[in-house]
Structure 1
């Protein structure tokens, strides 16, 4: 809202979110520190108190005394709302939520940990009953705090998931191993894994590719490139450096296919390409894309079930559900 001449805009009152961000902690930890609860280190408690004083934050006694209640709303946090993999997960979550008469609030943080934390804090401020986080970029400390405050389920591969959250994920090591085995069975020897990030997910996939290739006497290449700079990929294609590629997702595979066409590399005769996620895009490309299938919708539904189970049984042991992916072979690896 704009202000007219002669009017003064009312200064914004600091919130628990602004205190948390100023102190560099999660909203849930800031809340516990301000309420004097146990489980917060003295160093962090002091940091939160200093931030609250600096910002002029006053704890709302009325809000502090409210009895917890169900809002019927669940928060969903994604890396990228435009990513087809995440869209399928959301479809599963929302279908299961509708069956339970629940609503969802969805936000995304674009693979930036600070933005993911900020968006999550916003959902907490809106009093959601639980969180489903489809990202492996959320800081472990934040996940621990969230799991202590409300039911939290992560739909992503985590290297060391904290005991306070439940996890639903695809077995990335097994999926990437199957992809590497397929290329090697086709006689491909110059293999590479192309990825835009080295998240826990990509690390697990690289481990599967490297491990299986190594047993076959092959040393695969790891190419980590940015979304803005495709030059390393273009150069590798122009040099005919590879005859078999596995990409971090179908979208990356689509860009590699385009670059292959531009550099005169024939797919699959000269270069076999495998994507990941088996999104609808895989069947729209030419040639159709071989891809590792993850049951994203089923994972989303399972995440919501686990969240509701955690609400009714908060002391249960943490759940670790891993789905076995399947390789769907199409024309990009077989003539």
Structure 2
């Protein structure tokens, strides 16, 4: 027996059921701006649409209202680490609660895929980092009305603007308080995050400035293949504390130290960054810097929604306070 085709419920069906005009029902279902529909009528339309099983035709709805209810987030070509996943989860949830969908894309150097801002017609294109002038012009030329940030990348880093600069200072000051004076900066070898690594290394050096009894004795990219050798070099140079770029790098240093019989934290104290679940699971557990990544997600949602709805942007910056979580490695 051939399958039967279920007829899609349309706005006309809802209008016919209620005895209202198709225009009135369309205004309600499309949330058309500028229309003064009585609240009682709006509630009747929405209740009947739900009862009949009406599902909006998103393409037609976007055409009618001029809004797709899609927020496109353009991610930099970075690894999707724990802190990034945390604020993406919060951003997606906040937008969903407001009736918007989050779509992400990551442009890659030399990539051939057609940009999603051309195919999705998003209400807002949001960048995790500022767009360069050429990319900004491409997005606007595609017809997108709202782009955040609205200006090309400048001298200030996005991390500075979002308040993520406290982590290295907390790492260094904690190690100094623990009596460690000869530090190493353990960085990531991933070339995609070279700018972020350089920024945290710079902040580490700045925090050590004017500390006559402390110094940065070593700075190296640490990987699975060289962690043991680097830890040995650091210990030979008198290093007694490690500022790690993130918890993954800190875990590599910790593992290499323990395998070499080094006492942690007695001989070598280690502090990570991002306070991932891994930090609590390691033995000994890892001291780390925790940043409210979820606060960044909520802030980005507020920025996007204010642009999509033509309302005032948030007046308070993201809640990205950093604090140190002290555990067994320091």
Output the TM-score relative to the length of structure 2: 0.65
Q: Shift of the alpha carbon at 1:296?
A: 0.8
Show the counterpart of 2:92: 94
Please identify the structure whose Cα radius of gyration is greater: 2
For structure 2, the 5+ residue unaligned runs are: 1-62
| C-alpha separation in 2, matches of 1:300 and 1:210 | 29
Alignment partner, residue 264 of structure 1: 261
Report whether the alignment pairs 1:223 with 2:219: yes
Does the CA-based 8 Å contact 1:85-1:277 persist in structure 2? yes
CA shift at 1:284, angstroms?
1.3
Which residue in 2 is equivalent to 1:326?
323
Secondary structure of the residue aligned to 2:184 is strand
Q: Which moved more, 1:312-321 or 1:195-204?
A: 312-321
Match of 2:279 in 1: 282
Per the alignment, in what secondary structure is the counterpart of residue 171 of structure 2? helix
Quote how far apart the aligned CAs of 1:97 are. 1.2
Cα-Cα RMSD: 3.5
2:176 maps to which residue?
184
Check whether the contact 2:90–2:294 (CA below 8 A) recurs between aligned residues.
yes
CA distance in 2, matches of 1:277, 1:104: 24
TM-superposed CA distance for 1:142, in Å, is: 5.0
Q: Tell me whether 1:236 sits opposite 2:245 in the alignment.
A: no
Mapped contact 2:124–2:307 kept (Cα < 8 A): no
Measured after TM superposition, the shift of residue 88 of structure 1 is 0.4
- Cα distance change of structure 1 residues 119 and 248 upon mapping to structure 2, 3 Å threshold: farther
1:292 maps to 2:299: no
Q: Deviations over 1:304-327 (max 9, x none)?
A: 111122334499799965733111
Number of matched pairs: 254
- More deviation in 76-85 or 298-307? 76-85
**Rounded Cα–Cα distance in structure 2 between residues aligned with 1:93 and 1:286:** 33
Pairing partner for 1:210 from 187, 205, 208:
205
> Does the 8 A contact of 1:290 with 1:329 survive in 2?
yes
Summarize the alignment of residues 144-223 of structure 1 with structure 2, pairs less than 5 Å apart.
144-145=136-137, 149-153=144-148, 160-161=155-156, 170-196=162-188, 199-217=194-212, 218-221=214-217, 223=219
> Could you tell me how far 1:207 is from its partner in structure 2?
2.7
Which of 122, 126, 129 is the aligned partner of 1:132? 126
Counterparts of 1:284 and 1:290 in 2: how far apart (Å)?
Answer: 11
Distance 2:305 2:99 in 1: 12
Q: 1:127 to 1:168 in 2, by over 3 A?
A: farther
Q: 1:223 to 1:77 in 2, by over 3 A?
A: farther
Q: Is this contact kept in 2: 1:153–1:303, CA < 8 A? A: no
CA displacement at 1:188 relative to structure 2: 0.6
* Aligned 8 A contact 2:288 2:324 in 1: yes
Please tell me whether the aligned partners of residues 293 and 320 of structure 2 are also in contact (alpha carbons under 8 angstroms).
no
**Structure 2 match to 1:3:** none
SS at match of 2:273: strand
Q: TM-score, normalised by structure 1?
A: 0.64
How far apart in 1 are the matches of 2:323 and 2:187? 20
**Cα-to-partner distance string for 1:8-43 (whole Å, 9 max, x where unaligned):** xxxxxxxxxxxxxxxxxxxxxxxxxxxxxxxxxxxx
